[in-house]
Amino acid sequence: MKRFLGFVVLVAVMAQASMIGLDALGEEQVVGGSAAAAGRGFAGGAKTGEAEGLSVVNPARMAFDTKVVFNLNFLMDLYNIQRHGEDFFTKTISMPSFNLSFPMGDFGAIGVSLWQHYSSLVREEVSDSASAADAKIEYNGSVYEIVPTYAVRLPYLRNISLGASMHIVMGSMHRSLTLGPNKDAVAEDDVWATNNADITDYVEGSWEIEHHPGYYTGSVQYRGRQSSFYFSYTTGYTLLNKLEYNFRFSEIDTLIPSKIDRHIEIPAMLATGVNYRLAKRHNVMMDLQWRVWDEDIENVAHSYDMRSITKTQNDFVASVGYQRDGSGLYYDPLWDRVAYRAGAWYKNWYIEDVYEVGGSIGANFPLGRKGIALDLALQGGKRFSESEGNWDEVFLGIRLGLMGIGSWGQSRR
């Protein structure tokens, strides 16, 4: 039973859509994780155009938009987790982002985004026939952000823009770990007197920012004839996770709940990127994002002798990408109106000794004259760790984005 419980605890600590960091913050979506950005390796924060829309990491980019942009994104991830010859397969479907932006001419542009920053999701059953022990593990939680944004081009330096956004944090989390009855230590003649009570460690809570309504991002963007680049700074903040712990017996009896607040210090983030345009329609881009973590993260754990902290490291994302823009002429052949993308990235996770490499391809397919388009991205890669406590993960993802481009509120010529 002790060996089986150790395996359950290991899975409970690691298992989610990604198995890494479940008891800390979960899996972090790469900033700018739309289907369009994913198709070019999450690069392109400096790329401007009438259909680029709102960027969470570079709000200044939005000032160069000339049309209303609506963008809704979906993600399906498949994972194969490996460790010491053991395999575990899981999948998840989510909506990581929604963006809407409105240009206002000389008055700049406004927009709003709903962004899934961190997520943890798993629901599995584990059984050990040798010891007649069973366990059910469930994690379900997300840290969402509503991000209102404003950007404006400078009056006399029209190739430079400034942007600012506020990140309003919300979300919930739920964890339950149920251990079934085990009668190994009960004499065979006395088994009839035992009950079949399951013991469930049940935790639920909410997310918010401590002492502040939100945190903030500011950026500056330069757009030239061939090259564009940006710099942005995102403030640090303290995530407050209010948790209530319950032990339940067969979902009937519940012990007196205990309440614990987790405080997680999220450091400031610096980001920069460049886009270089060749022959009008070909774009080569590179982006960097990094944070310096000073403190470890207190885990949700607090039961079954699970680990109490997750050690952190400085995290950063380096990405490179390519995009061939599609023709804007409706009567051109379809293959010429499609935008083609490719990219790759390297990521240091916020969790100590966890790294990720990945690549992607993508395309933007126009769906008619009115500016509606479908973004498709295929991404894959591997997460690996130098720590004995973590699993290696091979992942494959499909992202779909529905984009609408219009001239709402603008007069017809």
CA distance 150 to 311: 36
b/e burial code for range 87-119 (CB count within 10 A of at least 16 → b): ebebebebebbbbbbbbeeeebbbbebebbbbb
Is the separation of the CB atoms in 103 and 129 below 8 Å?
Answer: no
DSSP letters for 203-244: EEEEEEETTSS-EEEEEEEEE-SSEEEEEEEE--EEEEEEEE
Count of CB atoms situated within 10 Å of the CB of 185: 6
Tell me the mean pLDDT in the region 268-294.
93
Evaluate whether residue 213 is within a structural domain: yes
Per-residue pLDDT, 291: 94
Does residue 354 have a pLDDT over 70? Answer: yes
Q: How confident is the model at residue 259 (pLDDT cuts 50, 70, 90)?
A: confident
Closest CA to 215 of 261, 169, 283: 169
CA distance 370 to 170: 35
Per-residue pLDDT, 116: 87
Closest CA to 113 of 233, 214, 210: 214
Closest CA to 61 of 222, 217, 215, 272: 222
CATH of the domain at 69: 2.40.160.60
DSSP reduced 3-state for 8 = helix
Per-residue pLDDT tens over the stretch 157-211: 999 999 999 999 998 888 887 776 555 554 555 444 445 566 777 888 899 999 8
Q: What is the mean pLDDT of the chain?
A: 81
Per-residue pLDDT, 404: 81
* Residue 294 CB-density burial (10 A; 0-12 exposed, 13-18 middle, 19+ buried): exposed
Evaluate whether residue 207 is within a structural domain: yes
Per-residue pLDDT, 2: 40
**Regarding predicted confidence, which is higher, 127 or 380?**
380
Q: What would the two tokens of residue 191 be?
A: 């088994």
**Regarding predicted confidence, which is higher, 109 or 34?**
109
pTM value?
Answer: 0.83
Per-residue pLDDT tens over the stretch 124-163: 766 655 544 567 778 888 898 999 999 999 998 999 999 9
Where in the sequence is the domain holding 40, given as residue range(s)?
Answer: 2-406
- Opening angle at CA 139, ends 240 and 297, nearest 5: 40
Evaluate whether residue 412 is within a structural domain: no
Evaluate whether residue 331 is within a structural domain: yes
Strand-strand pairing, 253-254 and 237-249: antiparallel
Evaluate whether residue 413 is within a structural domain: no
Evaluate whether residue 103 is within a structural domain: yes
Name, in order, each residue with C-beta under 8 angstroms of 374's C-beta and a sequence gap of 6 or more: 364, 365, 367, 400, 401, 402, 403
Closest CA to 402 of 25, 20, 31, 36: 36
DSSP reduced 3-state for 294 = coil
Count of CB atoms situated within 10 Å of the CB of 66: 14
**Phi/psi at 30 (nearest 5 deg)?**
-60, 135
Evaluate whether residue 247 is within a structural domain: yes
* Domains of the chain: total: 1
Highest mean pLDDT among 65-74, 185-194, 299-308: 65-74
Evaluate whether residue 317 is within a structural domain: yes
Per-residue pLDDT, 21: 77
Is the separation of the CB atoms in 290 and 239 below 8 Å?
Answer: no
Per-residue pLDDT, 252: 52
Is the separation of the CB atoms in 364 and 404 below 8 Å?
Answer: no
